[in-house]
Structure 1
């Protein structure tokens, strides 16, 4: 971690930015015109929630989709498309310094419980996202410069980090159960019942990422999964999604909406998603992508499957540029660029939670009906797309996703639930991939890394990973850590990777 001096500099910037924050549903839920310069619990809560819920705008919005092979990019050689992963910083943890201040400003005990619960969840969320990028991280001693004079914190093993994450989530659920609705929440409007559902649903996501450690007695993965599924509130519908919604107001529009977006012309939908949708007769094709200009000029109907063509994201940039010039490729559907509200961007969805439970059931962790959860995940994912697609020909090409269509789809040969465990897991993770198009940043990559599903195209001649026939496995530690916390980061690198901090090293959660 950075020294205390660096923390104070960043913290000052964060507090200055609090007064410029806009909200997620983006109504004025957290401002008081009579005291615009007074920091409050609700202002800090808004800042913390938006810190994990927001996604980048314009070009940045699609960069994670290049690594997950949903998209390709024609502007120039983009590293993410060709599997270049470099270093990641730890500055994202600094905002956790706001948690104690947020709790301290709370007006009563019930509100304190809710803000404490929020703080525990935000910490768990950020530790989870960081550790699955790099491996071991400072967790138990992180951010103790002000309280304990620990300016160069030790690194916890990844197992210890996950134990801490699970404890944080357990504490969050308990405190939300003792709390009251709170102000400053742009996602659930402070509804603690909704937050409990999120905490426990996210708990399930963390546990499924420990699939290789399911028999570790220190973690109790299976028993914890069973406890949540049998007695804790979890997502019950798409309205529980952890997501931001948008409106046709300045700084509140969909991240890839056309206004002020000079990068629309460079997006190309990848063949992994288009070919998958085609092979499964999946109407989401007509909602995700546009037909190619070449096929339309040939008289092919926009409602025809052959009007759509994905680009192999591993193809050389020279070949990609030639395809881009020729126009025989699909770009994003107009609903992503022509509608200011677009669709909500989620980080965890009801559909994904169903797929997680389906996988756990298929693995024998719980006695639930794997097929039932698998089919409910598909249904929820399709209904999400349908509900955020205006009923206009240009947006669905006449291939509307209705309940009758979904039922037909579920009974089709390739979608019908397999009879063997490996086949079931392959179908579940594959459907999760289809449902997360332009959603849940980097999730397609992480699921491919965890399960190998779906199989990503790799061309050794274009792959920027030094191991030319595979995807990279992790980000490297930040240069700031190497400069300012040298002893501890080097100990972590030695402990995990025999002293070699590189992108192809296997972290603990990826080892059998």
Structure 2
């Protein structure tokens, strides 16, 4: 009897009174939003890893795969979390709340699938997420079908957010449906711009969609609209490369791809992104001397990089990235990026009314203001080369920076400024932009490049091993249809052709 009595209260005694016992729509919304932000951004060395591939940072502890252009296999493990979307909608209150949560679900799904299809090409889409219906080997949709579905879902998300109301569980915009509309529509512009080689696909209506969004829907209006995580000095909320518990802080070096461009343009962001070479400072150079800043070629063989690292005659990351727990927000989509997209679309003839030069200048201004606003007024972090409004205006008006030349030269200028404004931001996006346009050019060294052939960058990841093991028929059909049966990192996916 004593034993039975003890057992009857076991669950009660061992329950955590602070733990939720039932999922709610706000809980699931938080989980989904953090999955595409915090999980994507990561921390420590993993935070820097995407930037090894976009050639803005070099790492010296080991010869990193991404630094030497080895992509390998991607993973579909981030997709099953999307099954929570259905539950989030199911648990949401009716009417306007349900509209908002439904819109959020459509956006999250679109964001995840766009990233995935940009990595490999065709993916399971219409037949995916049906495990509860016993669909365990989903068929693949073409990349065009996936992107068509994404565009339609984003259109629907904008309408649903417009009919929705402020909702709980949102760590980014506080449930503000107007801000979410801006994000949804800005992201759709990004998807459409990636389709610039597909304007002949009349059913996608690429240019018409772009024009309609710019003309009649809310899009980002300032840096306050950025889709970003803001950090604070609290456990689990500190900047991803902050020094606490981060043994990787001693290993990064600034890339010459970034440093060289900033020097050429006399761009003071150099002094906010990097520290001067300690060897140069010890030799008497001032901390605001342009020549004290030394970038390293990211395509050097690893032994040469470690030799330079040993001399300490290089520029490390600016101290603010490791010394400030709230350093700067990390964005996945920004107002400055939007302005550069609009500038490119104008140069390509998609939209009219505002000049490309105006959009381009606005993009530079927003990017510089973001950096300046998120950096304390301390010589340790700006090296007495402060970015002020007067400096920004002078910079934009300089002959080195003004938007001029042929269409292709203007595209290169726009993409270069987009790249410089995205330092340690938007994981993998600058690699995708380089792959899409070729700008800015990334150095390729056959002596260090892990890709085969060694004279070019890879353009896609391989399909996951799990797909080959458990969904082999469908993945092999997709590989055959796209690449003649050769799942290779140099094969161009549909969107690039």
Q: What is the aligned counterpart of 2:189 among 188, 191, 204?
A: 204
Q: Does 1:324 align with 2:309?
A: yes
Displacement of 1:373 in angstroms is 0.6
Q: What is the aligned counterpart of 1:416 among 388, 392, 402?
A: 402
Q: What is the aligned counterpart of 2:335 among 337, 350, 359?
A: 350
Displacement of 1:145 in angstroms is 1.8
Displacement of 1:218 in angstroms is 1.3
SS of the aligned residue for 2:247 comes to coil
Unaligned runs of 5+ in 1: 1-31
In structure 1, the partner of 2:238 is 253
Q: What is the aligned counterpart of 2:32 among 26, 39, 48?
A: 48
Q: Deviations over 1:335-358 (max 9, x none)?
A: 101000010010000000010111
Displacement of 1:321 in angstroms is 0.8
Q: Does 1:174 align with 2:153?
A: no
SS of the aligned residue for 1:476 comes to coil
Displacement of 1:204 in angstroms is 0.3
Q: Does 1:215 align with 2:200?
A: yes
In structure 1, the partner of 2:487 is 501
SS of the aligned residue for 1:91 comes to coil
Q: Deviations over 1:116-161 (max 9, x none)?
A: 0000000000010000000000111111121x43211111111111
Question: Equivalent residues in 2 for 1:309-388 (5 A)?
Answer: 309-367=294-352, 368-388=354-374
Displacement of 1:35 in angstroms is 6.5
Q: Does 1:113 align with 2:99?
A: yes
In structure 1, the partner of 2:12 is none
Cα distance in 1 for partners of 2:417, 2:196 equals 18
Cα distance in 2 for partners of 1:321, 1:89 equals 31
SS of the aligned residue for 1:299 comes to coil
Question: Equivalent residues in 2 for 1:386-465 (5 A)?
Answer: 386-465=372-451
Question: Equivalent residues in 2 for 1:62-101 (5 A)?
Answer: 62-101=48-87
SS of the aligned residue for 1:347 comes to strand
In structure 2, the partner of 1:466 is 452
With normalisation by structure 2, the TM-score equals 0.95
SS of the aligned residue for 2:305 comes to helix
Displacement of 1:413 in angstroms is 1.3
In structure 1, the partner of 2:264 is 279
Cα distance in 2 for partners of 1:101, 1:145 equals 14
Cα distance in 1 for partners of 2:306, 2:312 equals 10
Cα distance in 2 for partners of 1:106, 1:157 equals 33
Cα distance in 2 for partners of 1:37, 1:144 equals 25
Q: Deviations over 1:204-233 (max 9, x none)?
A: 000011111022101110000000000000
Cα distance in 2 for partners of 1:352, 1:268 equals 25
In structure 2, the partner of 1:123 is 109
Q: Does 1:229 align with 2:197?
A: no
Q: Deviations over 1:11-69 (max 9, x none)?
A: xxxxxxxxxxxxxxxxxxxxx98763331111000000000011111110000000000
SS of the aligned residue for 2:171 comes to coil
In structure 2, the partner of 1:195 is 180
SS of the aligned residue for 1:477 comes to coil
Q: Does 1:38 align with 2:56?
A: no
Cα distance in 2 for partners of 1:161, 1:36 equals 36
SS of the aligned residue for 1:81 comes to helix
Unaligned runs of 5+ in 2: 1-15
Cα distance in 2 for partners of 1:35, 1:250 equals 19
Mark the CA change 1:403 to 1:138 in structure 2 (over 3 Å): closer, same or farther.
same
Question: Equivalent residues in 2 for 1:282-301 (5 A)?
Answer: 282-301=267-286
Cα distance in 1 for partners of 2:453, 2:55 equals 18
Q: Deviations over 1:251-303 (max 9, x none)?
A: 11000000110011111111100000000000000000000111001100010
Largest Rg, 1 or 2: 2
With normalisation by structure 1, the TM-score equals 0.92
Runs of 4+ in 1 over 3 A off after TM superposition: 32-35
Cα distance in 2 for partners of 1:447, 1:58 equals 24
CA root-mean-square deviation = 1.1
